[in-house]
Amino acid sequence: MSETPYVPESAMAIVAHPDDIEFGTAGTAAAWVQAGCRMVYVLCTSGEVGIAEKDMTKEQAMAIREREQRAAAAEVGVTEVVFLREPDGMLENTMELRKRLVREIRKHRPEVVLTGDPTVVWVNEGYINHPDHRAASGAAIDAVFPAAGQPHLFEELAAEGLRAHKVRKVFVRGPGSNHSDQVVDISPVFDRKIAALRQHVSQLGDWDPEPMLREWAAKAAEDQPFELGEGWRVVSLVSDEDWEKLKGERW
Ligand SMILES: [Zn+2]
């Protein structure tokens, strides 16, 4: 099993909050960036209600969380981080959010979009998926298909010099999504993923996330020839043949 793993030329992770990427996606981001992929993070909110300290304003919390997110991105070599600053805790999959995500997709033209699974409401008996996570991933998927690729949808974006763009593949992750058909080997970059997560000091407190994340990564790689992984449901929207044909028009 020494098949060369798939690495896109460019990718965009779309999530709700600072730290969402670090829990489930940063290993894949680290591995891909190391292999030459251009990676962009898009954060729908800046997680400003995620710091429950009495004397802190939401503006102060936002600044802290954005700083932590940029530092986390830097740990895995990602320098482009976009904050849409939608209200944390109140995110909704609206047409306006879809348009804002289409704008980012048309601007950055990613080959792959990585996001969460909007159908996950609960996991086992101890976890309810945050409504912002469901809204962000639902909006991401709706922006990818078919909206971003339709020139006559959100045509006003053309005035910003943005052309329609077809995303080649969507990578959808859990939490709790028990269907994964592609596992990315994160063994060589696992320490980068942990270092990235540790940048979210305001969220972790004294908690050491390493054992739990190692357990998740080992479980994801159970049937694989490597030790640690991140599992994805991969939806291919453009065939390999068509992708080659689109090459000239893509960028
Ligand atoms: Zn979150």
Structural domain count of the chain? 1
Measured CA distances, 137 to 7, 98, 104, 117, 172 (Å) = 22, 10, 15, 6, 9
pTM score, whole prediction: 0.95
Contacts of 71 (CB under 8 A, 6+ apart): 199
Between the CA of 19 and the centroid of ligand 1 the distance, in Å, is 7
CATH number of residue 235's parent domain? 3.40.50.10320
Domain that holds residue 77: 10-250
Q: How far apart are CA 20 and CA 198, in angstroms?
A: 13
Residue 204, domain member (yes or no): yes
Residue 5, domain member (yes or no): no
Between the CA of 222 and the centroid of ligand 1 the distance, in Å, is 26
Task: Give me the half-sphere count of Cα atoms (radius 13 Å) on the Cβ side of residue 163.
Answer: 6
Between the CA of 47 and the centroid of ligand 1 the distance, in Å, is 8
Residue 24, domain member (yes or no): yes
DSSP 8-state secondary structure symbol assigned to residue 156: G
Q: In which residue are the tokens 């292999």 written?
A: 35
Q: pLDDT tens-digit profile of 132-191?
A: 999 999 999 999 999 999 999 999 999 999 999 999 999 998 655 556 689 999 999 999
Residue 163, domain member (yes or no): yes
For residue 146, cis peptide bond before it (omega within 30 degrees of 0): yes
Between the CA of 236 and the centroid of ligand 1 the distance, in Å, is 26
Q: How far apart are CA 34 and CA 26, in angstroms?
A: 12
Residue 152, domain member (yes or no): yes
* Token pair belonging to 171: 């990578």
Between the CA of 89 and the centroid of ligand 1 the distance, in Å, is 9
Q: pLDDT tens-digit profile of 81-101?
A: 999 999 999 999 999 999 999
Nearest Cα to Cα of residue 20 among 11, 33, 29: 29
Between the CA of 23 and the centroid of ligand 1 the distance, in Å, is 9
